[in-house]
Amino acid sequence: MLTQIAEGVLVHQSELLQNNTVVVQGRAGVLLIDAGITGSEMVCLANDLSELGQPVVAGFSTHPDWDHVLWHAELGEAPRYGTARCAAYMRDVRSNADWKARVAEGLPPEIAEETPLDLFGLITALPAETAQIPWDGPHVRVIEHPAHAPGHAALLIEERGVLVAGDMLSDVLIPMLDDPNSTNDPIEEYLVGLRLLEGVEGDVDVLVPGHGSVGGADQLRARIELDRAYVHALRDGHAPDDPRLGPSAKPGWEWVSDIHAGQAQSLAQRSERDETPG
């Protein structure tokens, strides 16, 4: 089911992980952002768009996590854009002969049989530092940043005041760092991402996270502060006071505490390695 959140902007939310697919209406059709996670949901979305007389003329994946790079043949053959780093990451994934089996292993068992992989990760790279989505519709600004995943980008639908945040600023998921075992600094990368999103705060009336509830401008500010507080607590080795964790977590999302425990452990191990003389 499509729900309108601003003029010409609609959202379709998945059942299992509350993924938000965003539909932006243009002159000849729609821009489809993060298409969904099960075949039946994507077919439902395609049918809804058909009833509206709105073909998909462009797609965009905010980042290369499995649940943001799926597609269904019913959605058509429009170009599916992503940042250059996102597209390169997906090319690397698909270059492995057994890529489909590897991806399937990482799918939630509840939907593994319902998630089509044939069109998985077929992302068209935007040139580096591209500032806008190339399509015939409202200006959509690309805000690329290093937080969470390679080539992650938020999108600002400027004329509608809508920020599509990708996997950040969620009311159900804590900040999930890029690989804590990498040579980069995932804490600082996440803080950079938050600062870039904070920089467009004055242009935003509606916030759409990758997972969870759509919010207004007040929620954007509150979630930036909540995410920053969590990342600071993780950096400093403190137990975060976060409503997305522990007894206050949303029913059905208790597993988010396991993500936190894993991140805290990985960062502690990284700190120990850094402090060990070579």
First-to-final CA distance of the chain: 57
Spatial contact of 227 and 176, defined as CB atoms under 8 Å apart: no
Quote the pLDDT of residue 153.
97
Quote the pLDDT of residue 5.
98
Quote the pLDDT of residue 181.
61
Spatial contact of 80 and 59, defined as CB atoms under 8 Å apart: yes
Task: Please state the rounded mean pLDDT for residues 39-45.
Answer: 96
> Alpha-carbon distance 86 to 116, whole Å?
20
> Alpha-carbon distance 24 to 47, whole Å?
16
Task: Please state the rounded mean pLDDT for residues 145-161.
Answer: 96
* pLDDT, tens only, 199-237: 999 999 999 999 999 999 999 999 999 999 999 999 999
Quote the pLDDT of residue 208.
98
Cα angle vertex 200, ends 199, 205, to 5°?
145
Quote the pLDDT of residue 121.
97
Quote the pLDDT of residue 271.
77
Task: Please state the rounded mean pLDDT for residues 58-62.
Answer: 98
Task: Please state the rounded mean pLDDT for residues 37-54.
Answer: 96
Quote the pLDDT of residue 270.
83
Tokens of 3: 């729900």
Query: Which runs of E-coded beta strand occur in the chain?
Result: 3-6, 9-13, 20-25, 30-33, 56-60, 80-82, 124-125, 140-144, 153-157, 162-164, 206-208, 215-216
> Alpha-carbon distance 278 to 255, whole Å?
37
* pLDDT, tens only, 127-138: 988 999 999 999
Close Cβ partners of 261 (under 8 Å, ≥ 6 residues apart): none
**Hey, is 155 helix, strand or coil?**
strand
pLDDT at 184 over 90: no
Tokens of 158: 């400027």
Q: In DSSP terms, which residues pair with 164 in a beta bridge? A: 155, 208
pLDDT at 179 over 90: no
Residue scoring higher pLDDT (273 or 144) = 144
Quote the pLDDT of residue 101.
96
Letter for the amino acid at 186? Answer: P
pLDDT at 276 over 70: no
Q: Please name the fold of domain 3-275.
A: Metallo-beta-lactamase; Chain A (3.60.15)
pLDDT at 80 over 80: yes
Quote the pLDDT of residue 195.
98
CA distances from 158 to 7, 11, 88, 120, 237 (A): 12, 17, 27, 29, 38
Tell me the pLDDT band of 41, cut-offs 50, 70 and 90: very high
**What is the percent of the chain where pLDDT is above 70?**
97
Looking only at the bridges linking them, the beta strands covering 162-164 and 206-208 are parallel
> Alpha-carbon distance 35 to 47, whole Å?
13
> Alpha-carbon distance 143 to 130, whole Å?
9
Task: Please state the rounded mean pLDDT for residues 241-252.
Answer: 94
Tell me the pLDDT band of 180, cut-offs 50, 70 and 90: low
pTM of the model: 0.95
Task: Please state the rounded mean pLDDT for residues 161-177.
Answer: 97
Quote the pLDDT of residue 273.
74
Residue scoring higher pLDDT (180 or 59) = 59
* pLDDT, tens only, 99-130: 999 999 999 999 999 999 999 999 999 998 89
Quote the pLDDT of residue 275.
66
